[in-house]
Amino acid sequence: MMVTQPDWTEILTQCRDSIKAAIAPLLKTLNEPQPDLGVGAGGDPKRQADLAAETAIVNTLLTHVTSFTLISEESGIREYGPKAHECFVTTDPVDGSTNLMRGIPFYATSIAISTRPVIGTIHAALVADLFHGTTYVAEKGKGAYRDGEKARPSDVESLAEAVIGMDLNTYKVQELIPRLLDIVKKTKHLRHLGANALELCYVADGTTDAFIDIRGKLRTTDMAAAWLVINEAGARITTPEGRPLRVSLDPKQTVSFVAAGNRSMHRTLLDLITSEKEAA
C-alpha cells in the first residue's frame, strides 16, 4: 500500500497562521508587566508569545501527523506519538523575541522538518516574518520561495557595494572584532536586525548579500529552517573554515557560519576572516 507523504509546505503554512492568531492578543499587552516564566531550553527567558507560538505549532502538527519529536528553543526535546523518531520538528517559535517585546518590527517563526536530528537531513522548512507577513518556504530538491516567487540570491561580488549582516552580540566581542576587522574595513553597509533566521533568508532572496555569525553562540534551533532555504535558493552557507555545516539539531547545540549570495562573495569573506590563532 502506498503511503501518502504529508504536504509539509501546506502544514507549515498552517502553523504560521496558527502562530499569528495565537500571539495577536499578546501583542496588545506588551507594555504591561510580563509574568516570569523561567528560562527556556535554549537558555533565554521564556515569554508568553514564545510559549503561545510553540503550542500553536504542536496543536497544528497533531492535526496532520500522529508522531514527531519536537526540538524547540522553548520546551527542549519532546516526543509525540508512537513513531516519534521518524520525524523531527526543529523550531524557534519566535526568533527575535526581544524585538517583539520592544516593538521593533522584525521577528519571525522558524520551523524545519527532518528525518533525523541532524541538519543535513532537513527536507522541508518555513521562516515567516510575523510582522510584515513575508514567508519563505523550501523543500529539498524543489527550490526556495518567498511568497510564492522563486528566491534568487544576490550576484554582488564587491564588498564596497555589498550589504552584509553581522551578529556581534556577545560579551566576547573584543575577541571577535580582530577576526572580522578586515571585513569591517572593506564593507560600507553593515547590518544586524535581530532575528537571525530572517536575516539568513534575506541572503537567500538577495535582500542582503551575506550574513556572518562566528560567535559560536547561535543555536541550531534558530537557523535550521533558514539553512534549507539558503541551500535551496542556491546561496552558500558553511563554517568559517569553508566546510559544510554538520551539526546536530538540539536546543543546546551552537553553530558558527558564513552565508553569502554567491560563490565569489563567499570566498572573499572566508579569506578575510582571521583565524582565532592569528587574531590572538
243, with CB counted inside 10 A (0-12, 13-18, 19+), is exposed
Handedness of CA 239, 280, 183, 197 (dihedral sign): positive
Q: What tens digit of pLDDT does each residue of 56-88 get?
A: 999 999 999 989 999 998 899 999 999 999 999
CATH 3.30.540.10 corresponds to the domain 8-150 = yes
**pTM, two decimal places:** 0.93
- Distance between CA atoms of residues 84 and 19, nearest Å: 23
Residues carrying CATH 3.30.540.10, the chain:
8-150
Does residue 149 surpass a pLDDT of 90? yes
Residue 25: per-residue pLDDT:
92
User: Which CATH topology does 163-279 take?
Assistant: D-Maltodextrin-Binding Protein; domain 2 (3.40.190)
Least confident span in 10-24, 124-138, 170-184: 170-184
- Distance between CA atoms of residues 240 and 269, nearest Å: 9
Residue 70: per-residue pLDDT:
98
Among residues 5, 15, 80, the alpha carbon closest in space to that of 225 is found at: 15
Residues carrying CATH 3.40.190.80, the chain:
163-279
Alpha helices in the chain (DSSP H): 8-27, 48-62, 97-102, 173-186, 196-204, 220-233, 263-272, 276-279
